[in-house]
Amino acid sequence: MFRGSIVAIATPFKENFDIDFEAYGRLIDFHLEQGTDGIVPCGCTGEAATLTHNEQEQCVKFTIERVAGRVPVIAGTGSNSTREALSLTKYAKEAGADGALLITPYYNKPTPAGQILHYKTIAEQVDLPIVLYNVPSRTGTNMLPETVAELSKTPNIVAIKEAAGSVDQVSAIRSQCGITVLSGDDSLTLPMMSVGAAGVISVAANVAPAGVAAMCSEFDKGNLAEAQRIHYELLPLFKALFLETNPIPVKAALWKMGLVKNVLRLPLTPMRAEMLAKLEPVLGQLAAV
């Protein structure tokens, strides 16, 4: 159902830290023009942690209306509170989202049994395709392949964004169930696709949407050499976008591209000058190819 290059879209802010919906619309249009296969509003890259629930709902609604059915919209609706995640997921369904991306509950670090009950509770109450999101570096806990396999038995749990940084983990998931796997690490997208992933929910697609989409498409068409060429062309960008905490470098890159203001909500701050000096030549090289 979900495959190719799906962008975890950044949330633009004005100088007063309100959401800049004019810039948001430009970003969405940019992706539709550049071949992005799907859009995730209110993910980690969208600074969901500092958005109010009302703002999350506004962003989801705005994205769905702007996209107007041209590509799937997978709303970020995760929380470490099952009740909150359920409420946000219900809203995504009502607003017309094509799916919901739910991060593994963070900070309270549930056991596998708690993870299973968390996701099943939401999936059973909201008839919407659910994408699990495993990112241990953010949440403090890893969702085991056995847990994913058990959750995949729930009909509307259809995919997982796998960001544990391990191709072995993708292999283990794919060996135990048929759930769709989407890479959560841009630099591992191509290796993960080689063992069965269907694409990526991407940070780098914010900056190079056509390139990330082409890499996924060329692999799907069996053009491995071309997919590899694009991978290596984009590899410096994949790495540079994590010189500081995501989405600090993404916001800096989009600012340099003239698409957003370089504004983040505290506790995130704009990219330090010495790190920006490392990012700028990567962006310049990208523009030259």
Phi, psi of 17 (to 5 degrees): 75, 5
pLDDT interval class at 181 (50, 70, 90): very high
Give pLDDT tens digits for 22-51.
999 999 999 999 999 999 999 999 999 999
Mean pLDDT of the region 90-97? 98
161 is catalytic: yes
- Residue-level pLDDT at 1: 78
DSSP output for 76-137: E---SSHHHHHHHHHHHHHHT-SEEEEEPP-SS---HHHHHHHHHHHHHHS-S-EEEEE-HH
Q: Could you report the per-residue pLDDT of 202-236, keeping only the tens digit for each?
A: 999 999 999 999 999 999 999 999 999 999 999 99
Which candidate in 24, 91, 119, 133 is catalytic? Answer: 133
pLDDT at residue 123 in the model: 98
Position 150 scores a pLDDT of: 98
Give pLDDT, residue 197.
98
Residue with tokens 């879209």: 9
pLDDT at 40: 98
| 84-95 average pLDDT score | 98
What whole-number distance in Å separates Cα of residue 45 and Cα of residue 251?
A: 9
Domains of the chain by residue range: 4-221
Question: Mean pLDDT across the chain, nearest whole number?
Answer: 97
What is the end-to-end Cα distance of the chain in Å, rounded? Answer: 32
* Distance, CA of 127 to chain centre: 21
**C-alpha to C-alpha distance for 270 and 249, rounded to whole angstroms:** 8
The string of pLDDT tens digits covering residues 134-170 is 999 999 999 999 999 999 999 999 999 999 999 999 9
Are 200 and 5 in contact, with CB atoms under 8 Å apart?
yes
Superfamily for the 4-221 domain:
Aldolase class I (3.20.20.70)
How far apart CA 218 and CA 190 sit, in angstroms, is 10
Q: In this structure, are residues 135 and 184 in contact, taking their beta carbons and an 8 Å threshold? A: yes
Least confident of 50-54, 60-64, 81-85, 283-287: 283-287
Span 162-173, pLDDT tens digits: 999 999 999 999
The predicted structure's pLDDT at residue 287? 65
Q: Known catalytic residue: 133?
A: yes
Helices (H), the chain: 21-34, 53-67, 82-95, 112-125, 136-139, 145-151, 167-176, 189-194, 209-220, 224-240, 248-256, 273-288
Output the pLDDT for position 253.
98
Which of left, alpha, beta for 140 (phi over 0: left; psi -120 to 50: alpha)? left
Which of these is catalytic: 109, 161, 239, 251? 161
